[in-house]
Structure 1
Amino acid sequence: MTKRIAILGASGYTGAELVRLLATHPEFRIVALTGERKAGQPMASVFPFLRHLDLPDLCRIDEVDFASVDLAFCALPHATSQAVIKDLPRNLKIVDLSADFRLRDPAAYEKWYGQPHAAPDLQTEAVYGLTEFYRDDIRAARLVAGTGCNAATGQYILRPLIEAGCIDLDRIILDLKCGVSGAGRSLKENLLHAELSEGTQAYALGGTHRHLGEFDQEFSAIAGREVRIQFTPHLLPMNRGILASAWLDGDPQRIHAVLMDRYCAESFLHVLPFGTTPSTHDVRGSNFVHIGVVGDRIPGRALVVGVLDNLCKGSSGQAVQNANLMLGLPETTGLMGAPVFP
């Protein structure tokens, strides 16, 4: 039976990416699209690249008949998302793409997002949405919290290594380059073409990036002790993509073997031959992650490089992958499209 889907916040980049993916999903049908500031407008006027699709017009959230919805994707900003979700029907399955339910500890949420959580009961109910590591919990969940796109990239290259104990946990340096769409669709001066084009910059320096809350939570739980990595993101003048480079103390061949073993059965995660590293071009527009490992000239050190598309595998594609599990469908349904190149 076709599953009826609502997308709350469909006028943003992740909302549009959800529509793009669901347009060819064989088991999902979009029955409601919301956009508070663009309510009443056809999706084609907000995103002309979707004009070939037969879609419902954008509406307000309070106009949606949730009794006729099997699952809702919530692609709203953080803080807004928790306020909306706490008032939705308690039997409705939800995949949230915001940051509101990623951190299990209310104090951690307040630390990283600067305000108390408005729905702490739901915060404890939510399952963390890193699919390949939480799929059994996701299958049984009502509310799934999608990961941060930067956090997902870093975890895919580091989690198996922390689990295997094959790297020095006190000497993890993660350098990340990300495309501008990760900052959302709102107008920001530093994202104007003249401000961003032909240059790059580091941001959220000194351990202030909010996705560090996810790294702290997940890596410390795996290790059974506090793990605090050094993490610096950089904004690049490209639309999509994340490239994460992790400098690690450990045997490069062992690191490569651990990653190969952990991901050999995964549909979306591919570890390249030793000595080969990926480009963001390799995964653009897809739900795939590519990971490469190389040795350093200094013995006992390695570089691990991972890439994914921040709007797809880092957000909306991951959300569809989780929704498939929640609704009893094969995990890869609607997500095996090849990357777009060039």
Structure 2
Amino acid sequence: MTHKIAILGASGYTGAELVRLIAGHPNLEITALAAERKAGQTMAQVFPHLRHMDLPVLCKISEIDFSQIDLCFCALPHKTSQEVIRDLPNSLKIVDLSADFRLRDGDEYEKWYGNPHTALGHQQEAVYGLTEFYRDEIRAARLVAGTGCNAATGQYVLRPLITAGVIDLDDIILDLKCAVSGAGRAMKENLLHAELSEGANAYAVGGTHRHLGEFDQEFSELAGRTVHVQFTPHLIPANRGILATSYVKGDPQSVYETLQSAYESEPFIELLPFGETPSTHHVRGSNFCHIGVVGDRIERRAIVVAALDNLTKGSSGQALQNANLMLGEDETQGLMMAPLFP
């Protein structure tokens, strides 16, 4: 069965990544591509690397006949996304890649994103899109909220450990190195080549990063008590990838065995042999997440390192994985491509 797909926000990095991934899916057909400021242009004009594909011309959202669409990917900025989704047909299946429906509490959304939520009914309906942990809910969902890429990486490391109670919940440090595409495609002075290359910097230091809202929500719910992680992201001069290093108090072997048990049947999570750590090079362009565990020289402390591609497993690949479940497709369909190396 062929499913007709629309992508809103097709001129951004996650939109282009969705197109790339869907091109390898035998049962999805891209019927509409929306990009308000680039309406009337072809995808070849916006993204020359996709010129070999037969794709619809970019249009405005108002021009799409959603009665002919089976599932819509919404790759729009936060705030814009909720306003658009609020007006879409209630029968339409939607995977949202923005931050607008990740937080279940409207006050928490306003705290982290600075504006009141205008679609609270949809917010309550949305299922959090971390596939490996919400698989059954996603399969039955109409609206799925894709996670933040940093939030996904940190959760792959920490969720099983918090659930199993094998680490000290009051002493969790999470350090992330994030590639520049995670900031989107909009022109920003600090992302210019001359400003970014040959350097790295911490940002949102001291607990101001918006993805902390997701960590607080998810980790506290798992633990049945408040859990706050110490989290610092760093911007690195790379196009793709996230490397997360977490420092936890707990027996390293127990940490490893807990992750091994949690992920042994997961198609996209690869736990490395004990003592090995991953590289962003090894997951680039793929839907895989690699995790490694090392024992620290200090007794009963472990270091857990995870690597994933922020545009694929951290965003568009996760979105397609969720869409497969929502449409009754094999979860891995269109996503088993090998990473690009070098």
Q: One fold, TM greater than 0.5?
A: yes
User: 2-side partners of 1:27 and 1:335: how far apart?
Assistant: 13
| Corresponding position of 1:179 | 179
Aligned partner letter, 1:330 = D
User: What TM-score do the two structures reach when normalised by structure 1?
Assistant: 1.00
| Corresponding position of 1:211 | 211
Deviations 1:132-165 (A, max 9, x none): 0000000000000000000000000000000000
Deviations 1:281-312 (A, max 9, x none): 01000000000000011101010000000000
**Which residues in structure 2 correspond to 1:123-138 (within 5 Å)?**
123-138=123-138
| Corresponding position of 1:61 | 61
**Which residues in structure 2 correspond to 1:111-150 (within 5 Å)?**
111-150=111-150
| Corresponding position of 1:161 | 161
Aligned partner of residue 90 in structure 1, secondary structure: coil
User: 1-side partners of 2:148 and 2:5: how far apart?
Assistant: 22
| Corresponding position of 1:257 | 257
Aligned partner letter, 1:168 = D
| Corresponding position of 1:286 | 286
User: What TM-score do the two structures reach when normalised by structure 2?
Assistant: 1.00
| Corresponding position of 1:96 | 96
| Corresponding position of 1:107 | 107
Aligned partner of residue 58 in structure 1, secondary structure: coil
Aligned partner letter, 2:262 = R
Aligned partner letter, 2:189 = E
Displacement over 3 Å in runs of 4+: none
Aligned partner letter, 2:208 = T
| Corresponding position of 2:235 | 235
Shift in Å, 1:184: 0.2
Aligned partner letter, 1:321 = Q
Shift in Å, 1:77: 0.1
Deviations 1:167-193 (A, max 9, x none): 000000000001000000000000000
Identity %: 74
| Corresponding position of 1:10 | 10
| Corresponding position of 1:245 | 245
| Corresponding position of 2:73 | 73
Aligned partner of residue 155 in structure 2, secondary structure: helix
**Which residues in structure 2 correspond to 1:313-332 (within 5 Å)?**
313-332=313-332
Aligned partner of residue 220 in structure 2, secondary structure: helix
Aligned partner letter, 2:107 = A
User: 2-side partners of 1:154 and 1:269: how far apart?
Assistant: 13
User: 2-side partners of 1:25 and 1:236: how far apart?
Assistant: 32
Aligned partner of residue 336 in structure 2, secondary structure: coil
| Corresponding position of 1:266 | 266
Unaligned runs of 5+ in 2: none
Shift in Å, 1:194: 0.2
Shift in Å, 1:24: 1.2
| Corresponding position of 1:37 | 37
| Corresponding position of 1:222 | 222
| Corresponding position of 1:188 | 188
Cα RMSD, aligned residues only = 0.3
Aligned partner of residue 167 in structure 2, secondary structure: coil
User: 2-side partners of 1:129 and 1:24: how far apart?
Assistant: 22
Unaligned runs of 5+ in 1: none
Aligned partner of residue 320 in structure 2, secondary structure: helix
User: 2-side partners of 1:71 and 1:221: how far apart?
Assistant: 30
User: 2-side partners of 1:117 and 1:74: how far apart?
Assistant: 17
User: 2-side partners of 1:47 and 1:247: how far apart?
Assistant: 40
Aligned partner of residue 299 in structure 1, secondary structure: coil
